Every structure is written in structure tokens, then in C-alpha cells.
Amino acid sequence: MLLVLLIVVAPIAAGALIFALPRNDRTISRGAGTAVAIATFAMLIAARDAQWSVRWLSRPFEAAFHFGTTPVSFWIALLLALCTACAVATTRVARTRDFVALMLMLEGTMLGLFLARDLLVFALFWDLMLVPVFFGLVGWGEHPATAWRYFIYNFAGGLTLLLATAAFGVIYGSTDVIGRADAHLVGAWAPWIYAGFAFAFLVKAPIWPLHTWMPPTYGGLPSPMVSVVSAVQSKAGLYGFIAIGLALLPDYVREYADPLMVLGAISLIYGAVVALVQNDAKRVVAYSSLSHLGLIIIAVASGNRIALAGAVVYIVAHGLFSAALFMVLGYLEEREGTRSLLRLGGLGWKNPRLAGALCIAALAALGLPGLAGFVGELIILVGVYQAGYVWPVIVALVGIVIASAYMIRLYQDLMNGPEVADVPVRGDLTWLEGLAVAPLLAALVIVGIYPVPLLRL
């Protein structure tokens, strides 16, 4: 069905078309960007089970431009369309037109990645999706070195991914394998191929000790883009582990489960304790991401069915709450001109809506029962324990306690306490900003109460 192709092409084409608008345009590009993102959301729902494919290579191995969602990637793609729509709607940066165009291209390339049913297409979009973020960091970031650091780390991952893909294709004969249940690769080369994939995925997630590109990137990107990057781009690696690692090379995920689990557990605790002492609000969330993604890696490493179902819920939940957190912190930074926890305080009195939005997002992040994050954590850990791993469960519970401490600290240092005199308090969320965050917060509540569609895999 051609609609599937349109889902990938439309945002990229729309992004290119937006450059045709006047250079200083804000409203039209913002509106058009939001509309395109919403349209991709609708198209995704319409094309849930559809596929589109055309032959690409027949030698040295078969490859095809093959698109279509898998049960897991469908939810991530929906999340992506939702986050993009919400983030674009309230974009307020310099050169809005160019920024919105980049956001749409980011959406399109990431949709290409998540809809890819062919490893080579997956590898292609893996590298393409770095480009908009790179230009986002160059054009709107705080320090150009950050852009290079982001690009080089992730491109190194892209390189091993490409090598592994090529090797896979040569040995297996075809790369048109994502979403197929029967394509398993074994043999002498298979562990090396798995290593190539795993390195790329671990860099992208990121997982300790490959995470050092992440805090400056998340701190430097403008908040609309970082909300999409942290919500969805970080899931590319985790999706890779599920759709490629576990599906195509399951023997090796199982064989090397212990090192993976150790890395996940280290990330979990490491991210949590570092988040505890950060004074930059965005960095608190960045390090908390490291911690949360460590939990998903633990779920993947356990290989347990329940844990994986939980991992999907948690992927979506983390996407929703990290997008909401970064957006709200972005609004806050636009108003106050700083995001330092040491300089801000007592904003809750004058900004009840801002405080409420931050509160719900932070509570979901710390795993409050009744919200989406809790469902993911609970089901993951039920599965991990059932798979016979006890120590990662205990580590994760310690992480949950620390998470409550740093998230409450984030919220309280910004919103509670006496008002700080040297920072202007400039008004609550506008109705448009409220409308942009509301879908994310509503989804957190809905998934928290009724996660059934996500669990039905």
C-alpha cells in the first residue's frame, strides 16, 4: 500500500517545501509542521497492518525498500508522530521556519527507521536521522563541539551497524528480514554481527559507558527537538535490540545476556545518582533517561516474554514523560532565561498550570502507581524476576527509590519554596502550550490505567 511510503516521504518532502516559505515566517511553518505530524499520526493508524515493498538489490544479497510497521514499532511511530506534533506546535526559536523544516525531516527519517522492514533500509535511515539533529545542534545549540560529539559517536555506531548489516546480508542472503519470525542467523560470524549491531544500539540508547555524548546533546538542543530526540531517537537502539537482536540473533542475545544486564544495571544506578546532584534541570532529565533506558536493557537481556511486553510499555511511557518533561522545562527556560535549579524556586504560586504539568510528568518519571511509567517498571520487573534474575530486580528497586528523590528534587527546587527574587516570574502556560502538553499527559494517565493494547503483542 502506497500510504506506507507516504508516511515516510511526506514529512521529509514537507520539510523541504517549508524552505520555500518566507525566511522569517513563524506561524505558517509551525501550523503546517503540526498538521503534517498529525497527518502522519492518522496515516499510521490507517496503515497499521499495511506494507509497501520494491526490490532494491539482488546481488550480493537481496534487499528491498520494504516499509511497514511491526507490532512494536507501530507504537513507537505513533509516539513519534504525537511528540513531533506537540513539540512543533509550540516551537519558539530563532529562524523558526528552518527549525520546523528540520523537525519534519527528523520525523520522516525516524519514521523511515521504525517502519523499515529491511536491515539495509534500517541502516540507511539510522545515519540519515543523525543529520537533522546535527544541524539542530549546529544552528541552535550552545556549543558547536557538541554537534560533532553527537555526530561522531552516533556515526561510529552507524558504521558498525552498516558493517554488521552487510555481513548479515552476505551470509544470510537477504536483508529483508525485520519482522519475520523465521529468519535466524547462526554460525561463526554471527557473534561478530551481533556485536556490530549491539555496539550501535548501545551508543544510541545510550548505555554506560558510551553515554557521554548524551548530557551535552540533551542540554544543548532546543527543547522541541530534544523532546523528540530523547523520547524517540533514543528508542532506536532499544527497538533494534528487540526487532533485530532478539528476533534475528536470539541465541547470541541469550548467550551474552549477562554482560548486557550488567551494563543496564550500571546505567540504571549511575544515571540515577548523577541525576541526584545535577543543578541543570535538563541534565537531571538527561541522566534520568540513562537510568530509565538501563531498565529497558535489563528487560531485553532477560529475554522474558512478560519483561518484553513491559519493555514496550516502558518505551512508550518513557517517550511520553521525557517529551513532556523537556517541553515543560523548555517553556520554563523561555520564560525565566535559566534552567538552573539553584537560581529558580517558588514558581508554583504564580504558575499553577506549569507546575501541574511538570508535576504529572515528573511523577510519571519516578514511577508513581497509576501512571504509565509504573506499569512499565512493574511488568518489566515481574518478568525479569520470573526469568530468574534477582540482583537486577533489587538494583532496579534501588533505582526507583533514587528516581523518586531526584524527580521530587527537580520539581520542588523549581516550583516550591520561597520565590526567588532575582528571576522574573513571567506568567503561566498559554492555552496553546497547555494544549500541546495535554495529549502527552493524558496518554500517560491512559496508559497507566489501561495499557492493554500495548501488552497485546
Partner 1 sequence: MTHHLLGVGGTYPLLLALWLLPLAGAVVCWAFGPQLGRLAGWLVAGLVAASFVLAALSWGAATQNAAGMLGANQRLVAWMPGFDFGLLLDPLSLIWTFIITGVGFLIVFYSLGYMEGDGAFARFFAYMSFFVFAMLTLVLSDNFVGLLVGWGLVGLASYFLIGFWFERPSAVAAARKAFVINVVGDAGMMFAIFLIFAKVHSIGFGDAFAAAGTFAPALLFGVCATLTIGAAAKSAQVPLHTWLPDAMEGPTPVSALIHAATMVTAGVYLVARCAPLWNHSPQAQLLVGAVGGVTALIGAVLGTAQWDIKRILAYSTMSQIGYMIMAVGVGAYEGGISLFFTHAFFKAQLFLGAGLVIHALNNEQDVRRMGGLWKRMPFAFWVMLTAVLAITGVPPFSGFFSKDEVIYGDLQFGHPALFAISALTAGITSYYMFRLLFLAFLGEYRGEVEHGHAPGWTMNVPVAILVAPSVAIGGALMSGGESAPWARFFAPQFGAEMAAVAHRPPAISEGMTSVIVFALVIIGFIIAWWRYATTEAKRDAVPRLAGETAHMPVVLTNLFYVDAAIDLVFVRSAQFLGNFFGRMLDPHVLDGAVRDVAFWARWLGAVVRSFQTGLVRAYALILVFGATSFIVYYTFATYGMRH
Q: Is 309 in the site for partner 1 (CB under 8 A)?
A: yes
Of these, 374, 392, 414, 441, which contacts partner 1 (CB under 8 A)?
Answer: 374
Label each residue of the chain as H, E or C: CHHHHHHHHHHHHHHHHHCCCCCCCCHHHHHHHHHHHHHHHHHHHHCCCCEEEEEEECCCCEEEEEEECCHHHHHHHHHHHHHHHHHHHCCCCCCHHHHHHHHHHHHHHHHHHHHECCHHHHHHHHHHCHHHHHHHHHHHCCCHHHHHHHHHHHHHHHHHHHHHHHHHHHHHCECCCCCCCCCCCCCCCHHHHHHHHHHHHHHHCCCCCCCCCHHHHHHHCCHHHHHHHHHHHCHHHHHHHHHHHHHHCHHHHHHCHHHHHHHHHHHHHHHHHHHHHCCEHHHHHHHHHHHHHHHHHHHHHHCCHHHHHHHHHHHHHHHHHHHHHHHHHHHHHHHHCCCECCCCCCCCCCCHHHHHHHHHHHHHHCCCCCCHHHHHHHHHHHHHHHCCCCHHHHHHHHHHHHHHHHHHHHHHHHHCCCCCCCCCCCCCCCHHHHHHHHHHHHHHHHHHHCCHHHHCC
Stretch that binds partner 1, among 18-26, 77-85, 246-254, 401-409 (CB under 8 A): 401-409
Q: How far apart are CA 14 and CA 37, in angstroms?
A: 10
The residue among 88, 82, 81 whose CA lies nearest residue 103 is 88
By the rule CB under 8 A, 441 interacts with partner 1: no
Interaction between residue 229 and partner 1 (CB under 8 A): no
Q: Does 17 bind partner 1 (CB under 8 A)?
A: no
Closest approach of Cβ 197 to partner 1, in Å? 21
Terminal-residue alpha carbon distance, the chain: 23
Among 45, 342, 394, 435, indicate the residue that binds partner 1 (CB under 8 A): 394
Can you give the C-alpha Rg of the chain in angstroms? 21
- In single-letter form, the type of residue at position 405 comes to A
Residue 391 makes contact with partner 1 by CB under 8 A: no
Nearest residue to 121 (alpha-carbon basis) of 179, 81, 79 = 179
By CB under 8 A, is residue 364 in contact with partner 1?
no
For position 50 contacting partner 1 by CB under 8 A, the verdict is no
Is residue 405 close enough to count as binding partner 1 by CB under 8 A?
yes
402 binds partner 1 (CB under 8 A): yes
Q: Is 312 in the site for partner 1 (CB under 8 A)?
A: no
Q: Judged by CB under 8 A, does residue 342 bind partner 1?
A: no
Among 35, 138, 273, 445, the residue binding partner 1 under the rule CB under 8 A is: 273
Nearer to partner 1, 121 or 354 (CB): 354
38 forms part of the interface with partner 1 (CB under 8 A) = no
By CB under 8 A, residue 16 contacts partner 1: no
Does residue 220 bind partner 1 (CB under 8 A)? no
Site for partner 1 in 160-219 (CB under 8 A): 208-209, 211-212, 215
Does position 274 bind partner 1 by CB under 8 A?
yes
Number of residues that bind partner 1 (CB under 8 A): 56
Report the nearest approach of partner 1 to the CB of residue 348 (Å).
6
427 binds partner 1 (CB under 8 A): no
420 is a site residue for partner 1 (CB under 8 A) = no
| Binding of partner 1 by 253 (CB under 8 A) | no
CB closer to partner 1, 31 vs 417: 417
Q: Which of 391, 92, 432 is nearest to 264 (CA)?
A: 391
Q: CB neighbours (10 Å) of residue 157?
A: 28
Q: How far is the CB of 34 from partner 1 (least distance, A)?
A: 25
If binding is defined by CB under 8 A, does position 346 make contact with partner 1?
Answer: yes
**With CB under 8 A as the contact rule, which of the stretches 10-18, 47-55, 171-179, 391-399 interacts with partner 1?**
391-399
Distance between CA atoms of residues 410 and 344, nearest Å: 11
Report the residue from 83, 93, 130, 306 that binds partner 1 according to the rule CB under 8 A. 306
Among 132, 169, 240, 451, indicate the residue that binds partner 1 (CB under 8 A): 451
Which residues lie below 8 Å from residue 335, measured CB to CB, with a gap of 6+?
424, 425, 426, 427
Taking contact as CB under 8 A, which single stretch among the options 51-59, 136-144, 165-173, 379-387 is the one that binds partner 1? Answer: 379-387
The residue range among 48-56, 100-108, 116-124, 393-401 that interacts with partner 1, by the rule CB under 8 A, is 393-401
Q: How far is the CB of 385 from partner 1 (least distance, A)?
A: 4
Comparison of 131 and 276: residue with beta carbon closer to partner 1: 276
Q: Where does this chain bind partner 1 (CB under 8 A)?
A: 152-153, 208-209, 211-212, 215, 270, 273-278, 287, 306, 309, 346, 348-349, 363, 366, 368-370, 374-375, 378-379, 381-382, 385-386, 393-394, 397-398, 400-402, 404-405, 408-409, 412, 415-419, 449-452, 455-456
